[in-house]
Amino acid sequence: MANPSGNVLSVRELRTEFRGGRGNVRVLDDISFDVGRGRIVGLVGESGSGKSMTALSLMGLVPKPQGQVSAKSINLDGIELASISPDGLRQIRGRDMAMVFQEPMTSLNPVRKVWEQVGEPLRIHQGLGRRAIRDRVLEMFELVGIPEPKARLDAYPHQLSGGLRQRAMIAMGLICEPKLLIADEPTTALDVTTQAQILRLMQELRDRVGTSIIMITHDLGIIAEMCDEVNVMYAGQIVEQANVFDLFENPSHPYTRGLLASIPKSTESRIARRMPSIPGMVPNLARLPSGCRFRPRCTDAMAICQTREPAVTDLEKDHRARCWLHARQDAISQGEPL
């Protein structure tokens, strides 16, 4: 049964905690977002903001028993993942949702031929034999633009360039035609030319195959080029959600404005002018500041920001921010000083 909302994925109140000797640390807190059918949705933020952990939590790849994932709902096109068994999740992973990891060299087995690894989901989920798998992998290699695809079938990972390995990983993710593909920094280790080719490839495959994509990146340029909607993450929370045009035209959270201000401008003089940056660092999740998590780095912080964590405020259609700047009347009604 398809999701009646029209979304391929709907996540509500996702939380992930890790147990340690000094207590539990919540690395994701109240993560809620949607991915529309055939849409590309971005997760953006600094390292340590929780982007990759969100992907691992959705895929059921958080190590247990140290890590514990809970959610009010994780609905993948009518299938409720929040309550599914581990065996049930293994049947879905690779078939209905798949993931492309950051570094393909560490994701591929160095002693197995590439075609065997790319075709593994077909063996697991469709029970195909070696000949049928090999033929299908050849089709996927052609689809993702691997040159001389037949000659590459029997290659080992070290015999392929970084760009070809990443194309092979994308082929693996798409080989069962999943409803959702999660791409975790898919161009991090690639040169600029190859990066552009991979991003263009993913857009073309979205248009051709119809797969929805979660694009995880720290690069706002990639967000602007690729995404339909954006979720800005900071310290384990989503602090702003908007469609890509609204986010760049009207950023509403101080953190988002800081990220956008940090983008180098091509028109700026090469004579050294200090690039704008956000002061401070992402906080240690085991020792979060009181109130708003961004407060110690925020130039707009108010008294209430020190004592109370802000709730999500609807600003306009499909644009939300987790910030007291947009909830002043609510704060006043509850007697909080501003």
Residue 202 and residue 183 in contact, taking contact as beta carbons nearer than 8 Å: yes
Environment class of 169 (CB within 10 Å of its CB; exposed 0-12, middle 13-18, buried 19+): buried
Proportion of the chain above pLDDT 90, given as a percent: 64
Please measure the distance between the N-terminal and C-terminal CA atoms of the chain and give it in whole angstroms: 48
- CA-to-CA dists, residue 252 to 105, 242, 247, 314, 325, angstroms: 38, 10, 8, 11, 9
Q: What is the mean pLDDT of residues 16-38?
A: 91
Name the more confident of 191 and 116: 116
Distance from C-alpha of 52 to C-alpha of 204, rounded to nearest angstrom: 24
Helices (H), 68-129: 86-92, 104-107, 114-118, 120-126
Cα separation, 157 vs 160, in Å, equals: 6
The per-residue pLDDT for 273 is: 59
From residue 196, alpha-carbon distances to 101, 163, 166, 202 in Å are 17, 10, 13, 10
Is it the case that residue 332 has pLDDT exceeding 70? Answer: no
Question: Residue 337: pLDDT band by 50, 70, 90 thresholds?
Answer: very low
Integer Cα distance of 101 and 32 in angstroms: 22
Structure tokens at 102: 């950051």
In contact, 27 and 49? CB cutoff 8 Å: no
Percent of the chain with pLDDT over 70: 91
Residue 254 pLDDT > 90: yes
> Looking at 53-67, 150-164, 184-198, which range is the least confident one?
184-198
- Nearest Cα to 211, choosing from 77, 319, 82? 77
Comparing CA positions, the residue from 61, 104, 113, 50 lying closest to residue 86 is 61
Report the DSSP beta bridge partners of residue 232. Answer: 44, 240
Predicted local confidence at residue 75, as pLDDT: 97
Q: What is the mean pLDDT of the chain?
A: 88
The confidence score (pLDDT) of residue 338 equals 37
Phi, psi (degrees; rounded to nearest 5) at 336: -85, 140
Taking the CA of residue 157 as centre, how many other CA atoms within 13 Å lie in the half-sphere pointing to its CB?
A: 18
Look up the pTM and report it. 0.89
